[in-house]
Structures are given as structure tokens and as C-alpha cells.
Amino acid sequence: MFFWYIANMLKYISYLYPITRQVKSKYSDTLEITWYNGKKHLNTKNANYSYGSLQAILKFGLDKIDLKQINSILLLGLGGGSVIETLRQDFNYQKQITAIDIDPVIIDIAKTEYQLENNANTTIICEDALQFIKNNTSTFDLIIIDLFIDIKVPKPFLELSFWENVITSKSTNGVLLFNASLEEKKSYQLQTVIDFLKTKVYKVDVYENVNGTNTVIISQSL
Ligand SMILES: C[S@@+](CC[C@H](N)C(=O)[O-])C[C@H]1O[C@@H](n2cnc3c(N)ncnc32)[C@H](O)[C@@H]1O
């Protein structure tokens, strides 16, 4: 009751003043959990990781996917787990989600600040997504690739060896939703990934300037 009261107080005060708590992370440097306009956002120095524009960007992508056909989701990049909230609450998706994040500090934030937990339909794993994909033997109908360190997609995830692994391993037979860039123009590496996907899958859609910033890619196998 006491904690509920404090949380509600913070929520209302945040309409007047943003309230921030900082946490240090080995991977993302300073993480900020900020109550702003009644919502708790997870930010880095230069980027919104969860529950802000990032959540809107992934929702834009999910709107383009027929989730009735999707029985399992792999999320690479848990952050605060805002896309899980979107899937569960806005799309009423109650099936299996497996979420991976390299950063134990972020996983702790997801659990303590955003009440995410391992349960019958949600599995949270602390691992490098690169390793996870290399060793994975399960097949997922949808893979959401939302891997950032501050404003950058880490280099290995723009290399074709990663995408080869995603496509040719058993990891997916269905849809890939890639939050690919925060930059205005598509980089040479990103264009190479798009060209590669076009040779391997049935359909690749590229959406630029989503929410005024990001490039989002959706690819579908037959
Ligand atoms: C933008 S946040 C993800 C937000 C999340 N999808 C959501 O819906 O709230 C990006 C995440 O990628 C994670 N990340 C970066 N590099 C990674 C890697 N090599 N393996 C796994 N996670 C990684 C970061 O720790 C961070 O939590």
C-alpha cells in the first residue's frame, strides 16, 4: 500500500517536473529511469531505450504484422521491456515471448521498475544476442531485433555473418522486425543487410523516418 502510494505520488508530480534516478551500467554507461508526464521512461545519455518513442516505433512495426499467425516471439534486446507491454496490452498477445539482453543491470531494471518476470509465457535470458543466435536450436515465428548501445546498433549486428545465422539457422521461419537505425540516412552497412535479406526472403519492407527518426525493416519468409 505504502509503495503504491509513493509510486502514484511520483506519477502525479512527474506532470510538473520530470523525476530521474540514475543507474550505472558497464554496457550503456549511465541509465536514467525518468518519470515524465505520468510514465516511467528508460533512457541513456542520448537515446530512449524503453517506454517512450522507442515503444511507438516498435508498435508501428507490430501493426504491420499479422500476429494471429505468430505463436512464438524472440526479442533480442529486452531493455525495460516496453515492447512486451505493447504486445500483451495493446495486441493482447498472450503466447510465448523469449527475451535476451546482454546487460544484467538492464534486466534488473526490467524486473524491479517494470515488473517483468519469468513466468509460463515469458522467458528472460541474460546473454549476448550474438552467442544466443549462434547456439539457438528453437524456431520462433517472429524475431524482434532491437539491439542498441546508446544511439548505435552494435557493429556485429550489421554484419552479414549475423544475418546468415538468423536466416539459415533454425531461429526463424517467419517474420523479422528490425529496429535498424536512429540515423537520418541508411548507412552502407545497413543497405548491405537489406540487399542480403532481399536475396534470402520473400518480402522486405523498409520504413524510414518512423516517428521522425528510425529506420524499421520488416522481412517475411514464405
Ligand atoms: C533500445 S533497448 C531495447 C528496448 C526494448 N526492446 C523495449 O521494448 O523496451 C536496446 C537493448 O539492447 C541491449 N543490447 C545491446 N547489445 C546487446 C547484445 N550484444 N546482446 C544482447 N543485448 C544487447 C541493450 O543492453 C539494451 O537493453
pLDDT score at 3: 67
**Which residues lie closer than 8 Å to 41 by C-beta, 6 or more apart?**
32, 33, 34, 35, 48, 50, 51, 52
How many residues in total does the chain contain?
A: 222
d(CA 122, CA 117): 7
Contact 89, 116 (CB under 8 A): no
Residues in the ligand 1 pocket, defined by CB under 6 Å: 27-28, 49-50, 54, 58, 77-83, 100-103, 106, 128-130, 146-149, 154
Q: Which of 147, 150, 210 to mutate to test the pocket of ligand 1 (most atoms within 8 A of CB)?
A: 147
pLDDT score at 38: 79
How many angstroms is it from 173 CA to the middle of ligand 1?
Answer: 23
Q: Which residue segments constitute the domains of the chain, with CATH numbers given? A: 53-220 (3.40.50.150)
Residues 55, 104, 60, CA angle at the centre, nearest 5°? 10
Ranges of residues in the chain with a pLDDT under 70 are 1, 3, 10, 12-14, 16-17, 169-171, 222
d(CA 98, CA 84): 10
- Label residue 33 exposed, middle or buried (CB < 10 Å: 0-12, 13-18, 19+): buried
Tens digits of residue pLDDT in 155-175: 999 999 999 999 876 667 789
pLDDT score at 201: 85
The atom of ligand 1 lying closest to the CA of 55 is: 8
Contact 201, 221 (CB under 8 A): yes
pLDDT score at 183: 80
Q: Which residues pair with 19 in a beta bridge?
A: 35
- The pTM score is 0.93
pLDDT score at 172: 75
d(CA 82, CA 49): 9
- CA–CA distances in Å: residue 44 to residues 10, 158, 161, 188, 206: 21, 21, 28, 26, 26
